[in-house]
Structure formats: structure tokens, C-alpha cells
Amino acid sequence: MAFSQKAEKWKQFQSELESLTPDKQNGNTDLHLAVISSEIRVAEDLIDAGTCVDVANHLNQTPLHLAAWIGADEFVKLLLELGAETALKTKTGKLPLHMAAWKGHPSTAKLLVLRDRTTLEAQDATGETPLHWASWRGKVRTIDQLIDLGANVEAEDQFGMTPLVLAAQGGKHRAIGRLLDRGADIYASDEEGETALHWAAEKGNLKAVVELLGRGAHVQAVDLRERTPLHLACHGGHVEIARELLRRCADLGKPDQDGSLPLHLAALEGHGEVAQELLAQGADLRSTDKDGMTPLHLASWVGNDRTVQDLLSWGADVDPRCKAEGAAPIHLAASEGHVAVVKTLLSRQANPDSTDKAGRTPLHIAAGRGHRRVVELLLQTGASVSPEDQDSNTPLDASLAGQHAEVADLLSSCGAQPRRGLRQSSSAPKAVSTQIREDQERKGLQPAVKSPDAGPVQSPLPYRSHTMSPQTWNDLRAQREGGTRASSHRWTPSPLRQPARRAAEQCPACETEPPQGFVGVASDSPRRRFHPGTPSSFWMQAPMTGRSMPSTCLSTENEGTGTWSGSVSPPARRPTTGANGVPGPVRQSWASSMAHALEAAIPNFSAEELSKATDDFAESNVLGESDDAVVYLGTIDGEDVAVRILNPYLPHASARFEQQLMVAAASPHPNVLGVRGLCTEEYSIVCEYAHHGRLDYVIAQDKPSLTWKDRILIAYGIGAGLNHLHNCCPTTILHANLSLSNVLLDRDFNPKLAGLSRACLESEAHHNHKSLGEQDGAEDPPAAEQDIAAFGVILLQILTGDTSGDSSNLVSTVEKAFDDNRLLRIVDRRAGNWPYQVLSVYVDLALSCIHATPFGPDLNTYVVPKLKRMTEVYATCISTADRHSPSNYREHVQTK
């Protein structure tokens, strides 16, 4: 889509803004620094001494750019009076007016436009005018100011997006309303034919959808792929938006260019609540797409068991056949190893011996793919053990062709006989698995066996794709919370294969081939309609190995949009027949090659090993769960570990998992939660276990009690970990989710930064995090200063013991106490008597962090050194080995 192509240019601009630091490392001159520091007299002296007012740093930013960025009207007036150029562009084509519009400074924008009106319609490298940026950022007062000055409300960028479309893409409903009030065309679309309503529905912004529909937006508008807003809302799982669109008479039966109805997309993505809403409104269960796939086919293919149950309960035919291969839903579920779906279909009288057009039964396909649990289930329900397909091959032949020893042994033990493929032996008969392994050795392949010193079991294939049993995440949560929506099937990981993964022949960013021998997953999954390719890549060095490896550049701003983040979008492919009869060839996912590259540095455990380590993922071992993941306590080699399993039903789960691996691999530090291994089969990361748990719980319960000296040491550790992420990794890592609950304490009470699931590399991800002191009520994109502001809040929570999460009230209370010189009234008395000198320095540092800007304070040169000095002077630093508990620590200090 258009905006995904724009993302690269946007990231350049964001990188440019984040590089505005109060030092000369970016080529900033003394005049730049004077502007950043708001020292107008110094600036006047420098100019009087002959400094050029248009001097540029290495990003081509002049002092006027910086003054416009921070909204320093006095500096802007001074520089304009002295002849500063308003038409000079940065490396990304931004004028000072773009900077002012981006940040939302209407008065600054007015000064710049009155000086040079030609800048009002100036376009940057992606064709954005100042009004585009103000609209996307939701700066309402700046929008009014620019339009009052004559800005064109229908200006298009190089992707055909008007300010209104861009505001809808950014989810800024207030900006949408204001632009419509000022005459914006509600029917305007981008080069992909997507209107503002398409974007609002796709991004899940209900207020924007209601605003647009109330202003007359066409509910049946179609883009170039014939998708309506309802298609996009159902694909994204936005049930409230789907309900609103249906209330406005959206057409349930409108197919897109692939023949998919909204119900197909809801079933494909596992959005059961959306599917229920569509069915209640009369959606057709028997409808098919261009491949003859019904919603039940799609839900079975991707393993959405809850959706399968819902569709069957509404009367869906259990054995419909698709046109291309004549496959029934049970064939597709068996091909991908979805045990729970196969079990559900069999319980609804699906025929275990049904055949497709090639004569293959579900047992043929499951055996050929090595899905032992599915094979066992089919055999238990009476499936014929030796049916023959059109080529006279039996399921045992399929398992032998795929080198699946355990499945072959199982079938052989049930009386199956191979017609071909096994090497005959004149000696006593050997187990099928033994013969397979001998064949592997003869061919030079590595057998999947574990020697005493071999470490974790490794697959003969360098990467095995993943799926989990099909009970959806919401069902799991409902089951554990006693809800009524839980099914009887327990959600547990399983070492099977998932079709819905991105795949490509080569990396589109650098045109390099993936490592030879990789086996990925079916790139021709029907999900490819909304996921048309692999993410682009950038390169970084793997810790400990020095190997270069790609990391996904998929921006979270595009999650759920189906947008392509690279420069080239490979052509979409329809399913074709593979060697073993699976619906779609098995291809290499370029993104998955990152996980393979990490195996050299991080142990790769098998799913069976993780199951053993966690007592078969026992309920009693659950440490915590959210919509994103479930965390289990486990034991590996006598060490307690935390096994974090990513929710496979999240949008772009594969890209999320691999990006989390890259973040984890790039950030080893004593104060960042350490990674002990990974499991590519299960989207799992094995981390060190923090025995004392979350810091907010420790503070709230006062068990164990933390003295003020303990708290300073903990604050220093948190700051050191955050500084490492920002300044010491191969590429800048923003935590983007820093809070007291994401700080864990290990056995020695060392703080560990956790919760890195939302961390982003080099500010790629554009989460909607609100920052303190933002203007116009809009949301700023992620930046280092947001992490620093969150760290400042943590410092105050450690000081006051307030773990309620109401940061605004906490900050205002502390600021008032600081101004009134009454800090002792707001400290946590359980921590002992804080020396006032310590208290004053600590609070001043915390408040400076909370009000962080792109220009300071700097973690590396100011915040962390100041905390370190506090630990040295006031906390009587001792070694970690001597401090096994706060009480021991206090005893140690008292003896000094």
C-alpha cells in the first residue's frame, strides 16, 4: 500500500528528529546549541561575531529548523530578521515549516508562512506538505492555522493521499472532523483506491469511522482490489466497527477480487466474535472464494478451532470440497497439523477416509507432513491404515518419503506395509526409524538424535515452522478466568506447522538468496491477500558470533493493514499442489532466516524439550499471560527459566517473534532480562527466571522490604539497562513499554528490564504512546525521550511507593511538593529516612527525565552517571554476591 512505501521516508525523518542532541556529534555548531538550549543572548553574540545564520549540521538542519521544531518563536523572529532562509531543506526534504507543522506550533508556522508564502505548499521527499504532516499528527490548531493562511486542503502527496486520508490513516478523528469542516473531500482516495473510511476501518478507529459515516462517507466504497471498509474491519478483527458498518447497511455478500467475503476474512484470521456478528446478520456459510474455499476451509487451514466450532454450530457443512484439489476441511487441518481442528471435525462426523481428487486421505497428508499427533488421532477414530491414492501410495509411503521416522514407526506398528522407499535388509528386520536414520547418514544428512554432549535436540531441517493448537487466545483466557466461552480443549503448544507465514524467494531489500537448504512454510496461504510479501531487512551483527543477519523492518504502524514495508512486492501466488499433496508448495520464509542465524548464538530448543521443562505446560507453571503471550516456569539443566510463548494469532506473529529475537540478541546486559534459548517451532523465547518477580509487586506488598538505599541501587540498575538499549547496542533499541511492572528482580535483587515484546529497532514501530506535555492532544511517535520520561515516572514510583499507575497525578503531586520544599511528605516511609540532600537530587533528576525532549537529558552523559554517583556516595556500594537480600544488604551497610 501507499503508506508502507512512505514508511521508509518517514523513518528517515524520524531518525533526523531524534538526532537533535545537545552536542556537536551531529555537526551542530555553537549556534545550533544555543537554539536548543534557548540561550537567545548567546545566539545574538554568536551572530554578531560573524556566525552564519544558515549554517547547517550534517543533516542539513539550520538553526531555523531547530527553532521551528521546538516552537521557539523568539529565535524564529530573530533568525528571520537576520535573513535566515525559510526554503532550505533537510536531507529528507523538510523545510522549517514542515518541522513546525509536525510538532504542532501554529504561531511558529504563521511566522514562517508570512515570511515566505511559497513554503505553504512545499513538498518534502515523499510529497507531503506541512498540512499533510499536521493532519497525520492530529495537530488541530495547526491545521486551522495553515488553512487560514491558504493551504490547499486537497493537496496530494506522491502516493495520492490527501491530508484527510492521511489523518484517517493516523487515526486522528479530531483532525478528520476539522478537515471536513474546512472543505476536505470525504470521497478522496489514495493511489490504491482507499478512502478515508477504508483507512479508519482498517486501523480500528471507531471514532473516526463514526465521524466519517456521519458526514456521508460511502459505506460500500471499494478500493482497487474491490475491498470495502467492511472487508478491512473484518480482516482486522474490529467487531465494533464491523457492527457499525453493518448498521449502516454494509453489504455482507460483496466479494473482493479474490472472491472473499467479509466472513472469509474473519474466519481466516480467527476473529470469532466478528464471525459471530456476521453470521447473526445473515452471512452465507456456503459461500466460496475463487478457489472454492468456504469459511470452514479457511478456518480449518489456519487452525482456528473456535471459529471452526462456531461455523459448525451455525450449520456449516462439515465436508465441503474446494474446486482446486477437492480437499475437505479435514484435509487442510491435517496438512497443517491442527490436532484440535481435526478432533472437532471428526466429532461432527467428518469422514476420516474422505479422499481428494488425487485419492489422498487425511492420513496420507498428515503422514507426509510428519504430524504424529494427527496420525494418532485419525487411527484412533478408525481411519484406514493403508488406503492407496491414485499412484498406489499408502500413508506409510508418504511418511517414508518425508523422512518422518516416528510416524513411519507408528504406522508400521499398526500393520501398514510400505510399497516402496525402504532399503531392504538381509538381516533381521529393523525398525523403520532405524532404516531412515541409516539412509540419512548414507546421504550425509544429520539425524535428529541427541548425543550426551550435543545440547538441545536439533531437527534435520535447519528451521521448522510453527503452529499451535487451534483454541484461540480469548478462549484460553476465558477458560482460566472461569468464563463461559472456553471450550473443552486445552490450549497448549504443539510442534506442528502453520501455513500463514510470509515467504519469498529472496530478500527484497538486498536481493540475496536465503541460506541453502531452508524449509519454510506455504507462501501461498490465502492470507497472502493481505500479506503480499516479506518485510524488508536491515543488517546488524549478531552478538558473540559477528555474523551478519537480517532483522525485520516491518513497522507496527502497518500491522493489520497488509502493507508492504519493502521496496519490491513479490507477485501474489495462488495455492498449488506440493509433492506430498499439501495445498501449496513449501517455501522459505526470508524472515524466518533470522531465527536460523540466531541458532549459532542462542540454543534452539525443541518443542518436546520445552514441554518436558514445563511439565507439559502445566497450569500450575503459568507465571502470567496477556493477549500477547503466555509465560511458563520451567527448568532446563537444573536452572529455573521463564518460557515466553507468543500468541500465534496476533497479526504478523512470525515477524513479531523474529523481531523479538533480534531485540533479545542485540541487548545482552546484566540489567536486561537475559535470553537462555529459543524455540522456533513454538514462537518461544526462553529467558532467565527472576525469582523475586515484578518490582511493582515487591514495592506494593513490601515483601521483602526495600530501604531507600536498595531503591537507589535498583534505580541505577534500571537506568543502566535502559542506557544500554539506547546507546550501547548495535542499533538503537527503544523499550516502548517501560513501566514498573516490566522491571523484574532476580535472586540478588538486581533489576532486569523485561517486557521487550514491544521494543522496536531504530524507532521502526509506531505505537501510540502518549507522552507528557504533548501538544494539541495528539500522540507522538516512539522516541528515546518517551522511554526516558517513563523512566522518570518509575523513579518517582520507587520513591513514593505509588504503584497505582496514575502517572499524571503522581507527577503533579511530586512537583508541588518539590516546589513547596516538602518532599519528605511524599516519600515511602517503609524505605526509612531519606536524607534530604539525596531526596532533592533524586527528585530533580526524575522530573528532568519526565520532561525529556529530543535535546535532553541524555542517559549516557547525565542521568546514569548521576545515579551512579548517588550509589557511590549514599548507598555504600557492595558486591552483588554479598547482597542476597535487602536485609543482608542493610546489615552490611550498618557494619561499615
pLDDT band at 747 (very low <50, low <70, confident <90, very high): confident
Q: Which residue has the higher pLDDT, 817 or 627?
A: 817
Give the helix/strand (H/E) hosting 678: strand 675-679
Contact 863, 857 (CB under 8 A): yes
Contact 526, 549 (CB under 8 A): no
What pLDDT is recorded for position 568?
Answer: 29
The answer to whether residue 879 scores a pLDDT higher than 90 is no
- CA–CA separation, 284 and 295 (whole Å): 9
What's the pLDDT tens digit per position in 24-72? 456 788 888 888 877 888 888 888 888 898 998 888 899 999 999 888 8
- CA–CA separation, 752 and 557 (whole Å): 28
Q: What are phi and psi of 620, to 5 degrees?
A: -70, -15
Give the residue-averaged pLDDT of 273-295: 89
The answer to whether residue 736 scores a pLDDT higher than 70 is yes
Instruction: Label residue 444 exposed, middle or buried (CB < 10 Å: 0-12, 13-18, 19+).
Output: exposed
Give the residue-averaged pLDDT of 503-530: 29
Highest mean pLDDT among 283-287, 506-510, 835-839: 283-287
The answer to whether residue 442 scores a pLDDT higher than 70 is no
Q: Residue 538: beta bridge partners?
A: 551
pLDDT band at 808 (very low <50, low <70, confident <90, very high): confident
The answer to whether residue 870 scores a pLDDT higher than 90 is no
- CA–CA separation, 270 and 627 (whole Å): 14
Tell me whether domains 318-418 and 492-564+584-688 share a fold: no
- CA–CA separation, 877 and 117 (whole Å): 61
Fold of domain 318-418? 1.25.40
Give the residue-averaged pLDDT of 783-797: 89
Lowest pLDDT segment from 295-299, 317-321, 603-607, 631-635: 603-607
What's the pLDDT tens digit per position in 370-423? 999 999 999 988 888 888 888 888 999 888 888 888 888 888 888 887 764 443
Q: Which residue has the higher pLDDT, 429 or 100?
A: 100
pLDDT band at 817 (very low <50, low <70, confident <90, very high): confident
Give the residue-averaged pLDDT of 248-273: 90
Instruction: Give domain limits for the chain.
Output: 219-290+304-316, 318-418, 492-564+584-688, 693-895
- CA–CA separation, 97 and 65 (whole Å): 8
What pLDDT is recorded for position 47?
Answer: 86
The answer to whether residue 443 scores a pLDDT higher than 70 is no
Residues 6+ positions from 588 with CB-CB distance below 8 Å: 503, 504, 505, 514, 518, 519, 520
SS3 per-residue string spanning 716-753: HHHHHHHHHHHHHCCCCEECCCCCHHHEEECCCCCEEE
pLDDT band at 106 (very low <50, low <70, confident <90, very high): very high
Give the residue-averaged pLDDT of 585-602: 43
What pLDDT is recorded for position 600?
Answer: 52
* Residue 777, number of CB atoms within 10 A of its CB: 13
What pLDDT is recorded for position 482?
Answer: 41
Instruction: Label residue 693 exposed, middle or buried (CB < 10 Å: 0-12, 13-18, 19+).
Output: middle
pLDDT band at 873 (very low <50, low <70, confident <90, very high): low
What pLDDT is recorded for position 581?
Answer: 35
DSSP assignment of 611-671 equals: HHHTTTT-GGGEEEE-SSEEEEEEEETTEEEEEEEE-TTSTTHHHHHHHHHHHHHH---TT
pLDDT band at 467 (very low <50, low <70, confident <90, very high): very low
What pLDDT is recorded for position 16?
Answer: 52
What pLDDT is recorded for position 884?
Answer: 35
- The class (CATH top level) of 492-564+584-688 is alpha beta
For 219-290+304-316, CATH number?
A: 1.25.40.20
Tell me the Cα Rg of the chain: 30
What pLDDT is recorded for position 182?
Answer: 93
DSSP assignment of 237-251 equals: T-HHHHHHHHHTT--
The answer to whether residue 543 scores a pLDDT higher than 80 is no
The answer to whether residue 480 scores a pLDDT higher than 60 is no
The answer to whether residue 233 scores a pLDDT higher than 90 is yes
What pLDDT is recorded for position 602?
Answer: 73
In angstroms, what CA-CA distances link 532 with 334, 535, 570, 834? 25, 10, 7, 58
DSSP assignment of 473-520 equals: HHHHHHHHTT-SS--SS---EEB---S-----SS-TTT-PPPPTT---
What pLDDT is recorded for position 227?
Answer: 93
Q: Which residue has the higher pLDDT, 183 or 596?
A: 183
- CA–CA separation, 336 and 350 (whole Å): 17
Q: Which residue has the higher pLDDT, 436 or 673?
A: 673
What pLDDT is recorded for position 88?
Answer: 92
pLDDT band at 178 (very low <50, low <70, confident <90, very high): very high
Highest mean pLDDT among 137-146, 645-654, 658-667, 812-821: 137-146
Q: Residue 688: beta bridge partners?
A: 641
What pLDDT is recorded for position 666?
Answer: 66
What pLDDT is recorded for position 10?
Answer: 47
- Length of the chain (residues): 896
What pLDDT is recorded for position 532?
Answer: 27
First to last CA, the chain: 65
What's the pLDDT tens digit per position in 632-647? 999 988 889 999 888 7
- CA–CA separation, 681 and 463 (whole Å): 8
What's the pLDDT tens digit per position in 119-147? 999 999 889 999 999 998 899 999 999 99
For residues 406-437, one letter each, b for 16 or more C-beta atoms within 10 angstroms of the residue's C-beta and e for the rest, the string is ebbbbbbeeebebeebbeeeeeeeeebbebbb
What pLDDT is recorded for position 606?
Answer: 85
What pLDDT is recorded for position 533?
Answer: 29
Q: Which residue has the higher pLDDT, 631 or 653?
A: 631
The answer to whether residue 268 scores a pLDDT higher than 60 is yes
Residues 6+ positions from 873 with CB-CB distance below 8 Å: none
Q: Which residue has the higher pLDDT, 745 or 434?
A: 745
The answer to whether residue 360 scores a pLDDT higher than 80 is yes
* Helical residues (DSSP H) of 72-182, grouped into ranges: 73-81, 96-103, 106-115, 130-136, 140-148, 163-169, 173-181
The answer to whether residue 760 scores a pLDDT higher than 70 is no
Nearest to 300 by CA among 261, 270, 256, 260: 270
Rounded to 10 degrees, the C-alpha dihedral 624/627/629/630 comes to: 40
Give the residue-averaged pLDDT of 164-181: 92
The answer to whether residue 470 scores a pLDDT higher than 50 is no
Percent of the chain with pLDDT over 90: 29
pLDDT band at 566 (very low <50, low <70, confident <90, very high): very low
Lowest pLDDT segment from 150-159, 622-631, 752-761, 877-886: 877-886
Contact 706, 692 (CB under 8 A): no
pLDDT band at 434 (very low <50, low <70, confident <90, very high): low
- CA–CA separation, 2 and 267 (whole Å): 27
What's the pLDDT tens digit per position in 181-201? 999 999 999 988 999 999 999
For residues 570-600, one letter each, b for 16 or more C-beta atoms within 10 angstroms of the residue's C-beta and e for the rest, the string is beebebeebebbbbbbbbbbbbbbbbbbbbe
What pLDDT is recorded for position 874?
Answer: 58
Compute the mean pLDDT over every residue in the chain, rounded to the nearest whole number: 73
CATH superfamily of 693-895: Transferase(Phosphotransferase) domain 1 (1.10.510.10)
